[in-house]
Amino acid sequence: MQSFLPLASSLLSFAFAAMVLDQWWQRRHSFQLVWGVGLIWYGLATGTEFLGSRFGWSEPLYRIWYLVGAFLVPSYLGAGTLYLLQKTRFGYFVAASIVLGGLFSLAATARYPGSVTGGYVTFAVALVAAASVAASTAVRRDFQAHVAMSFLVAGTLVVAALVMTAHLSGGSFVDPATHVPVAAAFPGYLRVSSVPFNAGGGLALVFGALYSAYIYMPKKRALAARLGVLAIAVNFFASLPVAVTALFRGKLNSRVPATILIAVGAFIPAVTSSLNRFGVTWSFFLGEFLGLVLIFAGFLVSEEVFRNVRIGTIIWSRAHRTSLESEVG
């Protein structure tokens, strides 16, 4: 089972990435390209887990696992969500998530000796990135995702160099009880610097999916829209009974259950990955697999994302409906 779950996650990730990139090739939406890259990272991360579990861990394999899994998977999937919602003010939420990740980095320095400088540097960079994303959202919304992606690409290059050259401690790469990989061999400054990548990307993916569900569900407006995020949160929960009724009547837009599945699927591995950081490792592989299955199911349910599906040289098409991009625009 320790080998099967990562292998299944890796194979599904690569197949999923191929489908998403094929959609991008057909329709050239930026969010599909970035999601496709994020899914490739997912496949690589879980692929290293399979290889390590089945054949044993080496330093290069361990470094790739940490770089891709801790830094790249959540951040690129979150960036893809920001591209999907780039005509909205979702950049403000992403900016707040990045700042929150920076604050968590500072708090984590108490847990990892020798990480104080790394925590403050990470927090400073997170503030600059968040301010830039927020400013672009205020001035020109269609640039917010490009700004976030510029910081992400630069950050990818920096952390790749740091992870590949970092001194590893002499401890085991895995939890001796469960044989699940843990990041304990990496220095503290790398442990704290991964937090904004995880927090910013993970929160963007989860809450971006919930926001998309809110856009398409029948709404009960308990609060006026001018109250912003508070109104969205309250109205979302107030609208859930109406959405459930519409579902049983067959009148609910398919994108609502699709995006809720994506949100739940993104939330599960976020939780199990956080538990892994605190030494609870038994659920790590299971969380990765279940989360990916739910996200994949959500994409298959969505009429917009998989409106055209290629089977060999044949493209199967669903009926066209209003896209999320035009809906939120």
Contact 263, 215 (CB under 8 A): no
Q: Locate the domains of the chain by residue range.
A: 4-206+306-324
Contact 306, 288 (CB under 8 A): no
Which of 63, 36, 69 lies closest to 273 in space, CA to CA?
69
Looking at residue 304, its pLDDT comes to: 55
Q: Which residues of the chain have pLDDT under 70?
A: 1, 303-329
- Token pair listed for 279: 């030494």
C-alpha distances in Å from residue 156, one per residue of 37, 45, 51, 93? 13, 15, 23, 21
C-alpha distances in Å from residue 81, one per residue of 38, 76, 257, 280? 11, 9, 17, 29
How far apart are alpha carbons 115 and 122 in whole angstroms?
A: 10
Looking at residue 314, its pLDDT comes to: 47
